[in-house]
Amino acid sequence: AATGISMGSVGARYGFNENNTVTCQIGVGPDFSSPMGFANDVYSTKAQYVRKVTDRLSMGTELEFTHPDMSSAMRVGWQYLFRQARVQGLVDTAGRVSMFAQDYNGFGLSGMIDYWHGDYKFGFQMNVVPPPPQAEQPPPM
């Protein structure tokens, strides 16, 4: 790249039956936490496991390790599907709790609380999608 920034990842996914999925990923990218992010590369490794408990409820966990800062994180999340909406939640070892609820008509709410840093974020989402075009009907005879 002209600026010296490179990003990439390699991953694998394996579903050992219809209810269990394991995903592993190795990636490299710029350090977005520093003012000069392109100066250093960050390497990360992730392993994820998702279990479909019922047709509507899925639960999962993720373990992430980042080099060169030697940080790690573990996350536990869930998703519940309603007939007209879905709700997702996440708890991680960095002291964050987050939630996302979305109506399939386009309205959504999200929130994240970072207890260790005293950071609270809440948001709204509204998707406006025009209706599909109506097919022309022939005039009655």
| Domain locations in the chain as residue ranges | 1-75, 82-131
Could you read off the pLDDT of 75-100 as tens digits, one per residue?
Answer: 999 999 999 999 999 999 989 999 99
How large is the average pLDDT for residues 112-119?
Answer: 92
Q: Name the band, by pLDDT with cuts 50, 70 and 90, for residue 34.
A: confident
In the chain, what percentage of residues exceed pLDDT 70? Answer: 94
The yes-or-no verdict on residue 46 having pLDDT over 80 is yes
The single-letter code of the amino acid at 17 is: N
* Nearest alpha-carbon partner for 91 in 79, 111, 77: 77
Q: Give the distance, in angstroms, between the CA of residue 122 and the centroid of all CA atoms in the same chain.
A: 16
Examine the pLDDT at 52 and tell me if it is beyond 60. yes
- pLDDT score for 127: 81
Q: How is residue 56 written in tokens?
A: 């509507």
Indicate the range of 32-41, 65-74, 105-114, 115-124 predicted with least confidence.
32-41
Collect all residues with Cβ–Cβ distance below 8 Å to 74 and sequence separation of at least 6.
Answer: 61, 62, 63, 64, 92, 93
